[in-house]
Chains A and B, each alone.
Chain A
Amino acid sequence: MRLSVSDVAHLAQLSRLDLSQDELAHMTEEFASILGYVDRIQQVDVTGVEPFAMPDRKDGWRPDEASEIDDATRELILSNFPERAGDLLAAPGVFQTPKK
């Protein structure tokens, strides 16, 4: 399996990673050897084999109840905000476009 630079650029787009042309080129090369290695799983006979999954817990559900947190914890969460407006998280507008 060999990916092209534009394939890797597409993956970068999907995963929200702003990579330079150099980084993309470098990554594409490394992918060739890594995918070359992991492609050996294509050789394994998996006829009739189920993908592994953990069994569900029988008591896996709990009531959907809101719980209170103490002020110290709240303040720690809020102070981690890169930009804060009172008790709100300030973020770029979802539909905001750069000024021309």
Chain B
Amino acid sequence: MKPLNQLTISSARALLDAGDISSRELTEECLKQIQSLDGALHAFVGTYPEDALASADRADSRLADSAPLGPLDGIPLGIKDNMLLQGKPCSAGSKILYNHIAAYDSTAVRKLTDGGAVILGRTNMDEFAMGSSTERSAFGPTKHPRDPERVPGGSSGGSAAAVAADLCLGALGSDTGGSIRQPASLCGVVGLKPTYGRVSRYGLMAMASSLDQIGPLTKTVDDAALLFAAIQGSDPRDQTTSDHEPFVPVDKPSLKGLRIGLPRQAHGEGVEARVREQIDAAVEVMRESGAEIVDIELPYMDEALAVYYVLMPCEVSANLARFDGMRYGLRKAALPIFDTYAQSRAQGFGLEVKRRILLGTFALSSGYIDAYYLRAKKVQTLIRRAYEKALGEVDMIVTPTAPNTAFRFGEKLNDPLAMYLEDVFTVSINVAGLPAVSIPCQTDGGMPVGIQFIGRWFDEAGILEAAKALETKLTERS
């Protein structure tokens, strides 16, 4: 048998239920892997070995009574450092929360623990989820598991690296403009951003409340479906959650007869040659499997990034106003009280966070709000309409997840705009509130390339079905 930390959630579940392995053994293997690799990798900013083993033991006694709580009982997972777990530190990768302890559970994590999942620790991220490389964590970057000179992507870089390096069997991330999908793409794992409203944001440190969504990073599409099913659902504590019928995974995934739209922008300049090759090859596999590939024009795709970089900073400037040195976190006491606010924030926040707060403050300020915030909201309406129309003509849309493979540390750090362009294929999905999943599509053993499936609102079943069908075909070929 392979090392237990290399198992998928589904295969671990089968072995646990059969009594072939214990949750304790599984958890110990993950903790051992963390111990040997994570000093260098830095995927986790904190681990809870005692609590994890205690959870594992409780899971094992339930298994002994043949009474597991559900599919995740005894499964070791990681959670991003912006999701509250009561009693544990939670810092959103920021110095301003360096000593903050979560006072309550986030709904998503609570659903995991209620289901018996073993939480190994919290994973590294770009500060307040602002970034695409995890270089902006106040606690040091995470390295790409395959190349220590390259970034794992971001902002859920820690979660992606942890899953890719088999430090855990799966992890939760959050995605506002691509922060689950892009690191999944760069690290070669599966990353799903559900439809806005599918997963409660209660207890998720808010970045942009109308765009944020929690989702799974896993080794396989089946695992992503499993983890998503566990965390989805309407929550009275988060009024932006939807009452839509719950997601149910499709049993017989097939690409046959699916109309899949391929936007011409996917082949645009700025897409790395390797990405273009691997995506083309994957599209060919889909064609051979019976999918109809349709060339489509996605209007406003060029404007979507601009809309995102107006709307998101606006919401950020409001959401981060609470970090003022008063009730929690870093306080730099000064008089008058205005200086306590201003110095605590100046000292506690990194450069990118300050940049986005200022941008948002500008776009919401008197005299500019009409030209920026309101105008962006109107273009958002046009973007949503464009997707609605396109997804009426095809069943789903496929693009590269990121325009490049994992880049080197420092490569994009000094050019904010270059970093923002990393998200060119992912941000419009958040602006439209659609679901999207990234799966690895490279078949040559080289640096990972992610292919993204974008579906209609609430059609996670459709995109996961197509992704799984492709995953199966690609596994056969590699």
- State the A residues within 8 Å of B (CB): 3, 8, 11-12, 14-19, 23, 27, 30-31, 33-34, 37-44, 46, 49-54, 57, 60, 62, 72-73, 76-77, 79-83, 89, 91-94, 96-99
Contacts and interface: CB of A to CB of B under 8 A. Distances in A.
Interface size of B as a range: 35 or more
Nearest to A53: B377
Nearest to B317: A15
Interface in B20-54: none
B85 to A, nearest CB: 12
Contact of A46 (B339, B361, B378): B378
Given A38-B306, A82-B331, A96-B336, A17 B349 contact: yes
B291 to A, nearest CB: 31
Interface stretch (B65-73, B125-133, B178-186, B322-330): B322-330
Interface in B304-333: 305-307, 309-310, 317, 321, 324-331, 333
Given A11-B361, A27-B355, A17 B331 contact: no
B175 to A, nearest CB: 18
B362 A40 contact: no
B381 interface: yes
A18 B339 contact: yes
Contact of B303 (A27, A44, A76): A44
Contacts of A60: 239
Contact of A76 (B101, B240, B309): B101
Nearest to B371: A42
Interface string B361-387: 110010000011011111111101000
5 contacts: A17-B345, A34-B417, A44-B378, A51-B378, A82-B328
B229 interface: no
Nearest to A61: B239
A51 B341 contact: no
Interface string B1-17: 00000000000000000
Kindly list the 9 A-B residue pairs having the minimum CB-CB distance in the complex, ordered from nearest: A51-B377, A82-B331, A18-B342, A76-B103, A80-B328, A18-B346, A46-B378, A98-B335, A16-B341
A33 B417 contact: yes
B306 A41 contact: yes
B79 interface: no
B101 A15 contact: no
Contact of A11 (B99, B335, B362): B362
Given A16-B341, A17-B349, A81-B327, A52 B300 contact: no
A31 B335 contact: no
B83 to A, nearest CB: 16
Contacts of A93: 337
B392 interface: no
Does more than half of chain A's interface fall in helix, strand or loop, or is it mixed?
loop
A40 B337 contact: no
A18 B337 contact: no
Interface string B411-423: 0000011001000
A97 B355 CA distance: 29
A8 B342 contact: no
Given A15-B321, A34-B359, A49-B378, 19 more contacts: A11-B362, A15-B358, A16-B338, A18-B339, A27-B355, A30-B416, A31-B359, A41-B307, A41-B375, A42-B375, A43-B303, A46-B378, A46-B382, A49-B382, A51-B377, A73-B86, A80-B327, A92-B336, A92-B340
A77 B102 CA distance: 8
Given A93-B337, A94-B337, A57 B375 contact: no
B86 A76 contact: yes
Contact of A41 (B240, B303, B334, B381): B303
B302 A40 contact: yes
Given A27-B355, A37-B306, A40-B302, A80 B101 contact: yes
A27 B210 contact: no
Nearest to B241: A57
B329 A82 contact: yes
A46 B335 CA distance: 47
A41 B310 contact: yes
A92 B327 contact: no
B354 interface: yes
B309 A34 contact: yes
A92 B333 contact: yes
A18 B303 contact: no
A52 B384 contact: yes
A11 B337 CA distance: 18
B194 to A, nearest CB: 16
Given A18-B346, A40-B302, A77-B103, A3 B378 contact: no
Nearest to B242: A57
B358 A27 contact: yes
Contacts of A16: 321, 324, 338, 341-342, 345
